[in-house]
Chains A and B, each alone.
Chain A
Amino acid sequence: MSLRTARIVSLVVTVVGAIVLLQNATFSWLGNQQGYEPVQPIAFSHKIHAGDNQISCLYCHSAAEKSRVAGIPAASVCMNCHSQIRKDSPEVQKIAAALSDNKPIQWVRVHDLPDHVAFNHSRHVSAGIKCQQCHGPVETMERVAQFDSLFMGTCVSCHRTHREVTLDKTGKPVIAKEATPKRLMASTDCSVCHH
């Protein structure tokens, strides 16, 4: 075939390919906060707490079991340990200060779903979904960054597969081969999240 035809064909292939490959990118870049990693008022390291010291997520984010929100621990909760441990660390000092002069710590929100999305932590936690599936390997993060795009597609794909979700050693979610018992069946009704 002539050079011109070749050019046409190749161009078509490239464009179509690009659209298919980058589908997500093509239609999703607006307002995507994936990778958002704001500097926090206190250099709190999840790596040290959840990673090295193996503190359970739910110790601080205790509401996650009972409520739609996971909750940010009150300064007093931090002091449960830090009244003994590393009292002198400047970062811990900040907390102590906050407690003493009764000024709440203003954390910068990392994971922020739109107001028209009602995500319920308690349901997912008690269904056995690992925090890491959406939040990523937080226990390895010095400063928390948004791991997933948290687009509707993410939720839906998981709700569709109705499967037990486990994490491999790198913290990547793995969807089990066989379907799990009913208690883990998830609904894809719009009203489950949008009301």
Chain B
Amino acid sequence: MAVAVKHTEDLAHEATHPVVSPLRKPLIEGHKTYGDVTTDICNLLDRRAGAGWWIAFSVSFVLMVAGIIATAHTVSTGIGTWGLNKTVGWAFDITNFVFWIGIGHAGTFISAILFLFNQKWRTSVNRSAEAMTIIAVMCAGIFPVIHMGRPWLFYWILPYPNNRGSLWVNFRSPLVWDFFAISTYFTISLVFWYLGLVPDLATARDRTISKLRRGFYKVLSLGWNGSNRTWSRYETVYLVLAALATPLVLSVHSIVSFDFATSLIPGWHSTIFPPYFVAGAVFSGFAMVMTLMILVRKLMRLEDYITVQHLENMCKVTLLTGSIVSLAYLTEVFIGFYSGNPNEMFVIVNRVLGPYSWAYWTMVTCNAIVPQLFWFKRVRTSVPLIFVLSILVNVGMWFERFVIIVTSLHRDFLPSSWAMYMPTITEITIMLGSFGLFFTLFLLFLRIFPVISMNEVKGVLHYARR
């Protein structure tokens, strides 16, 4: 077949790889060769950033700085700068925490679970999805620390020998579980991501023209030389990590859900929380991945690599998880009444009709109704639509956490201490700041690291071609 070819010496190569599969479309479009892949991805690193990137970056950077200032204010003045009160002890802080942890899950899901299920399409998105995970977990990790009354003593939740004879920590507390779960999750995701990065860093090292970058990549690529011995051990470990990350990602959000499920507050004390939260996490995570990927393929002109087919697949996952979440909502309501427990019933009624019903209905609309549009292929394949819907889903998922936390707390057992919660500017700024941090770091990632896992893409380059 006649194609525009770059290296003449690749002609033969092309000829021997005609498109033969009648069923499957190639994952990567544009008849790329190995060399093209390298060139496309590595050039992104050397090319100067476009206007789009700079705008996005400065906006997020400003937000981040604002967040830092608001946080400093909180730490120096006291949690009183937030809108919390004697009845509602958690609100924006833990909402943001759970939200960001949830976002993180998609990355691990794509890199680990889809890997185990041998989903080849993951290769174009897993690198940035994992980066997103790590950054999201960073954002999440901030909140449990700064929500403390005395954040400078946060290290007290570590079990270390001390001169208090030794006074340890309460391993029965879900907050301690959180600490272990999240630090483990962060560490494993980080090394997993980095491990996947090493061969590509080597490629970048051998390609880049800037001295500075070469030095940087040289150090980080750990002297990778593509030896087959290394490759074979590398793949083993990669598999092991994937196998570890899979239960890990499930455990992390289950444990986060234990913060609520193990308590006695009606609306929190619920056994469906772990699966409910995990589904929700993957749901919101994929929505965020789609948002980012659409941005990335525009910003970085990677339409050939991150194809509409990729997006469509993710839409399907979103649709599935979204439906699971909706089922959870229904179950919650059903159990609320089926339990016969007056307090449970009250919480449900209060959520649906109470002073915070606006939040509840935002949540239902964005999480239960909106994703149902993904049943239609036209929606699944229209990039602008996906972009809007994916953002809506994240709005909804943020409100889900808000509803769970605030509506359960503000009216619990004794009517005498019922109260209302309204956020202060400080809290809102801190939340925006966490988004600022997230995008700042992600945009930096786009500039510094190969956005797409070249070695993996090369591995599937001939998919549906041979």
Against A, the Cβ 8 Å flags (1 = close, 0 = not) of B140-176 are 0000000000000000000011111111000000000
Max count, chain A CB within 10 A of own CB: residue among B162, B163, B165, B167: B163
Question: Could you mark each residue 122-156 of chain A with 1 if its beta carbon is under 8 Å from any beta carbon of chain B, else 0?
Answer: 00000000000000000000000000010111011
- Cβ-Cβ contact count across A and B, 8 Å cutoff: 26
Instruction: Say whether A10 faces chain B, with CB atoms less than 8 Å apart.
Output: no
Contacts of B163 in A (CB 8 A): 23-24, 27-28, 149, 151-153
CB contacts (< 8 Å) of A155 on chain B: these are: 165
Residues of the B chain whose Cβ atoms lie less than 8 Å from the Cβ of A24: 163
* Distance between B270 CB and nearest chain A CB, rounded to angstroms: 33
Give B149 Cβ to nearest chain A Cβ, in Å.
15
Question: Count of chain B residues with Cβ under 8 Å from any Cβ of A?
Answer: 8
The smallest beta-carbon distance between A193 and chain B, in angstroms, is 11
Question: How many angstroms from the CA of A161 to the CA of B162 in the assembled complex?
Answer: 19
Q: Does A157 contact B (CB under 8 A)?
A: yes
Give the residues in chain B near A149, CB-CB below 8 Å. 163
CA distance A151 to B164 in the complex (A): 7
A27 to B162 alpha-carbon distance, docked (Å): 6
A156 nearest in chain B by CB position: B165
8 A Cβ contacts from B325-360 to A? none
Nearest A residue to B166, CB-CB: A153
CB distance from B186 to the nearest CB of A (A): 23
Q: In the assembly, what is the distance between CA of A160 and CA of B165, in Å?
A: 10
* B167 contact from A23, A28, A152, A157, Cβ within 8 A: A152
Residues in A neighbouring B160, C-beta threshold 8 A: 27
List CB contacts (< 8 Å) of A57-113 with chain B.
none
Bound together, the chains give a CA A23 to CA B160 distance in angstroms of: 10
Closest to B162 in A: A27
Q: Could you say which residues of chain B place their CB within 8 Å of the CB of A23?
A: 161, 163
User: How big is chain A's contact interface, by range?
Assistant: 10 to 19
Considering the chains assembled together, what is the distance between the CA atoms of A151 and B167 in angstroms?
A: 12
Q: How far is the CA of A159 from the CA of B165 in the complex (A)?
A: 11
With the chains together, A149 CA to B162 CA distance in Å? Answer: 13
Which residue of chain B has the shortest Cβ distance to A28 in the bound complex?
Answer: B163
Residues of chain B lying within 8 A (CB to CB) of residue A151: 163-164
Specify the chain B residue showing the minimal Cβ separation from A20: B161
Chain B residue nearest to A155 (CB atoms) is: B165
Chain A residues with Cβ under 8 A from B166's Cβ? 153
Residues of B within 8 A of A28 (CB): 162-163
- Complex CA gap A28/B167 in Å reads 13
Chain A residues within an 8 Å CB radius of B162: 27-28, 153
A152 touches B165 (CB 8 A): yes
| Alpha-carbon distance A168/B126, docked complex (angstroms) | 70
Q: When chains A and B are docked, how far (Å) is the Cα of A155 from the Cα of B164?
A: 9
- Chain A residue at minimal CB-CB distance from B165: A156
Q: How far is the CB of B154 from chain A (nearest CB, A)?
A: 16
Cα(A153)–Cα(B166), bound, Å: 7
Q: For B165, what are the chain A residues with a Cβ–Cβ distance below 8 Å?
A: 152-153, 155-157, 160
CB distance from B315 to the nearest CB of A (A): 50
Q: Please, which residues of chain A bring their CB within 8 A of the CB of B164?
A: 151-153, 156
CA distance A152 to B160 in the complex (A): 15
Nearest residue in B to A27 (C-beta to C-beta)?
A: B162
Query: Are A27 and B161 in contact (CB-based, < 8 A)?
Result: yes
Query: How many whole Å from B194's CB to the nearest CB in chain A?
Result: 21
Residues of B within 8 A of A152 (CB): 163-165, 167
In the bound complex, how far is the Cα of B160 from the Cα of A37, in angstroms? 31
Q: How far apart are A17's CB and chain B's nearest CB, in angstroms?
A: 14
Q: B161: nearest residue on chain A (CB-CB)?
A: A23
User: Which residues on the B side are within 8 Å of A160 (C-beta)?
Assistant: 165
A134 to chain B minimum Cβ distance, whole angstroms, is 15
Q: How far is the CA of A23 from the CA of B165 in the complex (A)?
A: 11
Once the chains are docked, how many angstroms separate the CA of A151 from the CA of B162? 10
Nearest CB of B to A175, in Å: 15
Cβ distance B81 to chain A, nearest Cβ, rounded Å: 25
**Closest residue on chain B to residue A157 by CB atoms:** B165
Name the residue on B nearest A160 (C-beta): B165
The complex places the Cα of A126 from the Cα of B162 at a distance, in Å, of 30
- Closest chain-B Cβ to A16's Cβ sits at a distance in Å of 12
1/0 contact string of B421-450 vs chain A (CB within 8 Å): 000000000000000000000000000000
Write the nearest CB–CB distance from B155 to chain A, whole angstroms: 11
CB distance from A146 to the nearest CB of B (A): 15
**Complex interface: chain B residues within 8 A of A157 (CB):** 165
Q: Which residue of B lies closest to A188 (CB)?
A: B165
Against B, the Cβ 8 Å flags (1 = close, 0 = not) of A6-35 are 000000000000000001100110000000
- The residue on B at minimum CB distance from A190 is B167
In the bound assembly, the distance between CA atoms of A24 and B161 in angstroms comes to: 9
Q: How far is the CA of A152 from the CA of B254 in the complex (A)?
A: 37
- Alpha-carbon distance between A151 and B163 when the two chains are bound, in angstroms: 6
Within 8 A of B (CB), among A149-185: 149, 151-153, 155-157, 160
**Given A27-B161, A153-B165, 12 further pairs, Cβ under 8 A:** A23-B163, A24-B163, A27-B162, A27-B163, A152-B163, A152-B165, A152-B167, A153-B162, A153-B163, A153-B166, A155-B165, A157-B165
Q: Which 10 A-B pairs have the closest CB atoms?
A: A156-B165, A153-B165, A28-B163, A151-B163, A152-B164, A153-B163, A27-B162, A23-B161, A24-B163, A152-B165
Can you list 22 A-B contacts (CB < 8 A)? A23-B161, A23-B163, A24-B163, A27-B160, A27-B161, A27-B162, A27-B163, A28-B163, A149-B163, A151-B163, A151-B164, A152-B165, A152-B167, A153-B162, A153-B163, A153-B164, A153-B165, A155-B165, A156-B164, A156-B165, A157-B165, A160-B165
